């Protein structure tokens, strides 16, 4: 998941960081801290740009193994100050009852877990200099698995990947395709059959406040189930850029379901057990980018609708393609000749692009794409990425204080890819 921007992107991307960085850095749900040869370390992989949601900053942590400290805490709480255990003077025994357990109700977290767990895997990755773990979603009975790019990127060109299934079996795996711009990847488990594919839902049907369930392997604890609600939709999340400087931004599903390092690549599902997102990142209160953070109820998942066409391309061995306007943008500047405080201001227009054909100019402030309000450069990039090349959209922009709306068909980055 090394990202080293080198040249300006061919399409739209922010050219300046958000002006108001948050004091609360972010951590992706990739896994516990990496373990390089020679001993453990909590140092973050170099090259990954700051992780941001809207105007908050963030950082990615992808990792390996971690310990659990519950037993030590219980021992301390279970003793007196002198070290001896306390006991009641009265003697009591537990009552034994014979009440049969009730079947899980449809739509309950218990029922969702029973249905989805067989379709979720733990992924262990070893590379030349580090190791890490994450989660994955079974797409086919013969072992195609969806995960995050930053989970498998650790392997590089010479590392190894293994997959652990819910039934206790495991298999080696190879990479079929990766897409840094959407932080997705498809891998193939070798010599397997009869797996249980997940049911893919529709993220476009989600509503703020509805219940969701996250499943994965936080801190290496596989088959962990947590639940919560959809806290927000279309939250622009920026996890850096690819080797060509193109921003990795997606319109995330925000949830308070506990997502921790190691959940990355696992599913966020609705209460029908249908996958609506790919758990990918979290915001933490850690004050440094190298500190290991955990859930504070701010988790982010990639909407499944936005990436399934790209997933299909990777599974078929094709190079992923993305929609683009053909412009570079930054957060709206104070001297935009309007009273606008939010928007994406055009900094450059690529000759021959769909934006140039529609008449967009340097200095224009884009405020809306279809019905989606554009509040920042990340917001515009994330929104455009939610479409496919050739889709027709309306773009509203302000020039010299006057609002205009144009219709255009989105370009493809196929040639630049």
> Where in 83-223 does DSSP place strands (E)?
120-126, 131-138, 144-147, 160-164, 170-179, 184-189, 199-200, 211-216
The residue with tokens 């340097």 is 362
Residue of 3, 124, 179, 183 marked catalytic: 183
Is 391 part of the annotated catalytic residue set? no
Q: Which two tokens stand for residue 308?
A: 């399934």
Q: Rounded CA gap, 85 and 93, in Å?
A: 19
Is 183 part of the annotated catalytic residue set? yes
What pairing do the DSSP bridges indicate for beta strands 323-324 and 411-412? Answer: antiparallel
Q: Rounded CA gap, 85 and 63, in Å?
A: 38
Q: Which two tokens stand for residue 398?
A: 């302000």
With contact defined as beta carbons under 8 Å apart, do 48 and 239 qualify?
yes
Q: Rounded CA gap, 150 and 201, in Å?
A: 23
Residue of 59, 119, 124, 150 marked catalytic: 150
Counting beta carbons within 10 angstroms of the beta carbon of residue 36, is it exposed (0 to 12), middle (13 to 18) or buried (19 or more)? Answer: middle
Q: Which two tokens stand for residue 97?
A: 């009852």
Q: Rounded CA gap, 140 and 280, in Å?
A: 21
Longest Cα pair distance anywhere in the chain, in angstroms? 86
Q: Which two tokens stand for residue 169?
A: 């079996």
Q: Which two tokens stand for residue 231?
A: 């806290």
Residue of 264, 330, 353, 377 marked catalytic: 264
Is 404 part of the annotated catalytic residue set? no
Counting beta carbons within 10 angstroms of the beta carbon of residue 156, is it exposed (0 to 12), middle (13 to 18) or buried (19 or more)? Answer: middle
Positions annotated as catalytic residues are: 150, 183, 264
């Amino acid at each position: 998941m090394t990202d080293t921007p080198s040249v300006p992107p061919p399409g739209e991307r922010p050219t300046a960081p958000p002006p108001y960085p948050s004091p609360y850095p972010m951590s992706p749900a990739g896994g516990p801290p990496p373990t390089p040869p020679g001993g453990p370390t909590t140092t973050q992989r170099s090259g990954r740009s700051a992780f941001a949601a809207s105007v908050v900053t963030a950082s990615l942590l992808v990792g390996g193994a971690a310990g659990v400290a519950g037993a030590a805490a219980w021992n301390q709480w279970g003793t007196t100050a002198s070290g001896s255990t306390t006991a009641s003077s009265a003697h009591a025994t537990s009552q034994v009852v014979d009440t049969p357990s009730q079947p899980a109700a449809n739509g309950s977290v218990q029922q969702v877990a029973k249905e989805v767990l067989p379709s979720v895997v733990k992924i262990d990755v070893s590379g030349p200099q580090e190791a890490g773990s994450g989660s994955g979603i079974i797409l086919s009975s013969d072992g195609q698995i969806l995960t995050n790019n930053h989970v498998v990127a650790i392997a590089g060109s010479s590392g190894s990947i293994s997959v652990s299934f819910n039934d206790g079996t495991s298999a080696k795996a190879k990479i079929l395709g990766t897409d840094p711009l959407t932080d997705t990847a498809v891998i193939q488990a070798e010599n397997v059959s009869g797996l249980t594919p997940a049911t893919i839902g529709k993220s476009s049907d989600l509503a703020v406040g509805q219940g969701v369930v996250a499943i994965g392997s936080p801190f290496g604890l596989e088959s962990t189930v947590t639940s919560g609600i959809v806290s927000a939709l279309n939250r622009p999340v920026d996890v850096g850029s690819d080797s060509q400087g193109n921003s990795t931004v997606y319109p995330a599903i925000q949830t308070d379901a506990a997502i921790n390092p190691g959940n990355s690549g696992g599913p966020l599902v609705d209460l029908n057990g249908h996958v609506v997102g790919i758990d990918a990142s979290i915001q933490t209160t850690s004050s440094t980018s190298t500190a290991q953070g955990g859930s504070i109820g701010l988790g982010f998942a990639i909407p499944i609708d936005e990436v399934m066409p790209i997933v299909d391309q990777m599974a078929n061995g094709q190079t992923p393609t993305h929609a683009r306007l053909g412009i570079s943008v930054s957060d709206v500047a104070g001297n935009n000749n309007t009273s606008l405080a939010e928007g994406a201001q055009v900094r450059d227009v690529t000759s021959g692009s769909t934006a140039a054909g529609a008449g967009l100019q340097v200095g224009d402030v884009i405020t809306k794409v279809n019905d989606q309000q554009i509040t920042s450069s990340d917001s515009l990039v994330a929104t455009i990425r939610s479409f496919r090349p050739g889709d027709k959209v309306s773009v509203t922009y302000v020039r010299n204080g006057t609002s205009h709306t144009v219709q255009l068909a989105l370009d493809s980055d196929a040639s630049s890819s």
